[in-house]
Amino acid sequence: MLVVPPAFAEFQLSPEMSGLPMVGNASVIEDPSRELTLEDILEKDWAEFQQQEKNKTVKGMTSSAWWVMLDVDNQTSSTIDWVLESIYTHTDYLDLYHINGNGEVSTILTGDKRPFDQRAISSESFAFPFSSPAQSQEKIVIRYAYDEIGLVELSLRSWDKKTFQDHSSITYYLYGCLFGAGLFVILFILIIHIPTRLPEHYWYLGYVIFVLANSLANTGLGHRFIWHDSPYLTDSAHIMITALAFIFAVQFNRVFLQTKQAMPRADWLLKFLLGLAISSICFYLLGYRELSVKFLLLTGLLLAIMPIIGLWAWKVLKRTDARWYVLAWSVWTISMLVFIGRLSGILEVSDGTLWISRMGLLLETVLLGLALIDHVNVLRAEKRASEEKLIKSLEDANLLLEEKVQARTADLEQAHQEAVSMAETDELTGIGNRRFFFSRGENAFQLAKRLEQPLSLVMIDIDHFKKVNDSKGHAAGDTVLKRIAEISKQRLRSTDIHGRIGGEEFAFIMMGTGLKEATAFAERLRKDIEITAIDSPLGNINVTASLGISAMSSQDQQLAALLHRADEALYQAKSNGRNRVAFL
């Protein structure tokens, strides 16, 4: 018979108990060496124990053993049959010692690393039945420990026997709804995927599968029904499956939002999250369990920014199919906040907080499924619009061809004359003329837009050219125009498009060149013109030029938009004193 010290406070049993928290009445002590026995605990100085705070039951990742001591008092006049439940399902070793009023000790040894069929009650959580006589005082001492390191969670609840059975039935019903809905989502996405075969469906399907597998692992159902004979899976499944779920979630986000093409910075962040999840698996396999779990927690926290990225795609990039995506990841963020609140002690560990996280993940997968449906509808609408545009183009082409065939004989001579008049070379300067510039320029513009490459347009106007014509004569003016064309051609690359588009106006289209590089080129060209003495029959002529620049933006649909901005920039350069470069 043992003589035992009292706990800080007694827990009063009652005939009706519905998951009453017990740990607030408990005394706790940490055992870093994991070598203390029941006798050692009972002989310890009472000052070494701490009263357990109600919401501070999570002790973090630790290799220490933890002891919990409870005084249980039945002050009623009848025996109370009740159940003590330890909520957390992943403890390796949970040793319970029941000390009755006579000091007699009975022991129940359970935990994930012990056979499931030896549990006192067949339940995913650790549940222990008791029958406390009337007017009795008993003590319960519980030891939590891991082989190496693990998350220690000390939450305890008390139930009367019938209420516990009813609660278990309701819980299994909710499990059925959870997994049934998950399987329905998988079947539904398979049906959608068969005709579309979009890559984002693969990643989404894998994510949903691992979310369901994660629910099996974290609820303890996997250990109970599937891998109870595998200590390795029991120990690792909830960590490895969570990491795999994160990997598929990150890849789904990258493909669905097309971050590599549309949001490069966000894509780098997602690649970083992908690296964290993969590193978590590697660290776990190498034996660094604590580091692995910390990497997983960091990945989960950073995934909470996905609503912001989705909102950017929706509002800025005009991705209407991102609406459901934003809502889905907002649900994820709320679930993560609840999870962190449980770990930090802000929120009480209860069925409510547990099921918010579980159902939150399910709701997120459903909303992501709706986002995919919306995505498919958008793609179909775009395809239908393209097909209609193609059909209209073909009809117009056929109509035009018919008209040309009917008028072929009558228009042959006229067509010949038009072809001669539409020659693409400027006779005076030997460079492209206006038609050449706009024809080639529009093609270059559309190509750059399709390939998402930069493109800039530079316009040149010779300052006070009318004075040259008036004072030196038109022959001298022609000489100036030819020399300016030569200077420009020497500076330009073979891939650039060069043309005379007006009397003293020239324009260049620079492929693969952004605004900064185009401005630097224009400044060099301006200086070349300024320092060049142009030889003419009436002596050397010095002229200057004003240049206007514009660069292609995502809003530009035709070359005319660039030309308009470059013309405005040219006007600005003229207004600011000439012989300068301006850009818009």
Nearest 10 degrees: CA dihedral of 80, 129, 64, 344?
-70
CA distances from 368 to 220, 252, 301 (A): 26, 10, 19
Which helix (H) or strand (E) is 4 found in, with range?
none
The residue whose two tokens read 């995502």 is 554
Other beta carbons within 10 angstroms of residue 503's beta carbon come to 12
Is-contact 118 52, C-beta < 8 A?
A: no
Supply angle C-alpha 278, 284, 286, rounded to 5: 105
Spatial CA neighbour of 254 closest among 310, 179, 319: 310
Spatial CA neighbour of 326 closest among 260, 358, 370, 357: 370
Active site residue 504: yes
Which residues, in sequence order, are CB contacts of 168 under 8 Å at separation 6+? Answer: 123
Other beta carbons within 10 angstroms of residue 332's beta carbon come to 22
Other beta carbons within 10 angstroms of residue 87's beta carbon come to 21
Is-contact 68 97, C-beta < 8 A?
A: no
CA distances from 290 to 99, 109, 166, 314, 385 (A): 35, 26, 37, 38, 54
Is-contact 485 506, C-beta < 8 A?
A: yes
Structure tokens at 146: 């891991």
Coil, strand or helix at 229: coil
Amino acid, res. 118: Q
Structure tokens at 108: 């129940």
Structure tokens at 410: 């009558």
User: Which spans in 407-433 are helix H?
Assistant: 408-421
Amino acid, res. 304: A
The residue whose two tokens read 């918010």 is 356
Is 328 exposed, middle or buried (CB count within 10 Å of its CB: 0-12, 13-18, 19+)? buried
Q: Within 13 Å, how many C-alpha atoms sit on residue 495's CB side?
A: 9
The residue count of the chain comes to 584
Is-contact 325 378, C-beta < 8 A?
A: no
Which helix (H) or strand (E) is 494 found in, with range?
none
Other beta carbons within 10 angstroms of residue 199's beta carbon come to 11
- Residue by residue, DSSP assigns 565-579 as HHHHHHHHHHHTTSS
The residue whose two tokens read 């560990």 is 349
Amino acid, res. 256: F
**Residues paired with residue 158 on neighbouring β-strands, in sequence order:** 20, 84
Choosing from 504, 505, 523, 568, the catalytic residue is 504
How many angstroms separate the CA atoms of 368 and 324, rounded? 6
Other beta carbons within 10 angstroms of residue 312's beta carbon come to 17
Active site members: 504
